[in-house]
Amino acid sequence: METVVTNLQGVPINHYILFCSIIFAIGVIGVLIRRNVIVIMMSVELMLNSVNLLLAAFSAYKGDASGQVFVFFVMALAAAEVAVGLAIIVMVYRNTRSVDINALSRLKW
Amino acid sequence: MSVFYFVAFLSIFFALMTIFTKNAVHSVLYLVITFFTFTIHYILLNAQFLAVVNFIVYMGAIMVLFLFVLMLLNLNKDTEPLKSNLIKIIGVIAGLCLVVTIAGSLKLLETSNPVVLKDPGIGLVSNLGKVLFSEFLLPFEISSILLLTAMVGAVLLAKNETKKI
């Protein structure tokens, strides 16, 4: 196990930051270009996950366990967010018969 | 070391597939694969606890919830709303601007030390449990209240309310 881990290390921290920002940007693009509410929530999950990975990478880089504990809290938050968000989506679908995000624009008034 | 780049390529590829496929069910399945590659990333960082939690919570619970709701709503290809091509192009350009901004600011950092595990046992369950239950005990308890609130809220919202008050 130890030899495997030491063989796999040595990736520059900049590459982790770049990789996570690319995944985050893909999530942002997904929110911008899709109109299906469920896919938009999935893009939000993608963004949360990229930040989680970067936190874990920094935690391993600094040798501090607090980062990984924080990832744990973010995961608990994401689970709560998904449960409430999907309940809201089900309710919206029951009222409007669609998952189009534009159907929610009437909330403006 | 090259394993990281291979898995990173796979994650980016499947993340792109997630947002660009038309079918929402395929989107969910690609997202599951993306989360699986993230689990591999956690294993590479020797964060074993996070790898298992990511596997169980994200791929097991959250994605099943997504699939469940998707099948509950009974969507098909005709009801899939699509944005115009102009808005899509603008969205992609906006996202690329974000990447360019972060990459540009990353150039200024210059120092790029490799990630070496100073303490390989940092991500193990025993170590994280000690930190979680000594240093972060209050946030841990508060997060349990948050989950309870979310559960009550979800049941309340999704319940079929027929009578008017």
Mean pLDDT of B14-19: 92
Mean of per-residue pLDDT scores for chain B: 85
- Dig out the tokens for B41 from the structure: 């990333």
Q: Apex CA A20: angle with CA A15 and CA A22, to 5°? A: 95
CA dihedral B60, B66, B72, B78 (to 10 degrees): -140
State residue B81's pLDDT score. Answer: 67
8 A C-beta contact, residue B54 and residue B42: yes
The reply to whether residue B45 touches residue A76, judged by beta carbons under 8 angstroms, is no
By the 8 A CB rule, do A52 and A71 touch? yes
B38 touches chain A (CB under 8 A): yes
ipTM: 0.88
Q: Which residue has the higher pLDDT, B143 or B83?
A: B143
Secondary structure (DSSP) of chain B: -HHHHHHHHHHHHHHHHHHH-S-HHHHHHHHHHHHHHHHHHHHHTT-HHHHHHIIIIIIIIIHHHHHHHHHHHT--GGG-----HHHHHHHHHHHHHHHHHHHHHHHHH----B---SSGGGGSHHHHHHHHHHTSHHHHHHHHHHHHHHHHHHHHHHS---S--
Predicted confidence band at B47 (pLDDT cuts at 50, 70, 90)?
A: confident
Residue B118 pLDDT more than 60? yes
Multiple choice CATH, B2-75+84-124, 1.20.120.1200, 3.40.50.12160, 3.40.640.10, 3.30.1490.190: 1.20.120.1200
Q: What is the token pair recorded at A13?
A: 């921290």
| Domain segments of chain B as ranges | 2-75+84-124
Number of C-beta neighbours around residue B58 at 10 A: 25
Of A9, A18, A36, the CB nearest to B80: A36
Q: What is the DSSP letter of A34?
A: -
| Nearest by CB: B132 against A13, A69, A80 | A69
Predicted pLDDT of residue A102: 80
User: What is the pLDDT, as a whole number, of residue B162?
Assistant: 61
Q: What is the nearest CA distance from A108 to chain B, expressed in angstroms?
A: 20
Per-residue model confidence as pLDDT tens digits over B19-35: 988 888 899 999 999 99
User: Per CATH, which fold does A2-108 belong to?
Assistant: Helix Hairpins (1.10.287)
Going from the first residue of chain A to its last (109 residues), give the mean pLDDT of each consecutive group of 10, the final group possibly shorter: 58 88 94 89 93 91 87 91 89 82 76
